[in-house]
Amino acid sequence: MPCVAVLHALSDAIASLDSYRACPSLDAPATPETLLRTIMRVKAQNQQGESG
């Protein structure tokens, strides 16, 4: 159960980068590479939304 809470907390933290407009999906295990890839995807989507 604590593992699910940590995964959800990480997802919430990444969602905060886009003002919680979307909830990024994370799969276990949430490796540093997976987290970085998800962060970069959320930031790219945020930039596309602001320019478009």
CA distance 33 to 52: 28
CB distance 12 to 27 below 8 Å: no
Q: What is the pTM of this model?
A: 0.82
Q: Give the confidence band of 52 by pLDDT, cuts at 50, 70, 90.
A: low
The residue-averaged pLDDT of 47-51 equals: 79
By C-alpha distance, which of 19, 29, 7, 9 is closest to 42? 19
Predicted confidence (pLDDT) at residue 8 exceeds the cutoff of 80: yes
Neighbours of 20 (CB within 10 A): 9
pLDDT at 6 over 80: yes
What residue has token string 């003002």?
Answer: 19
Residue 6 is which amino acid?
V
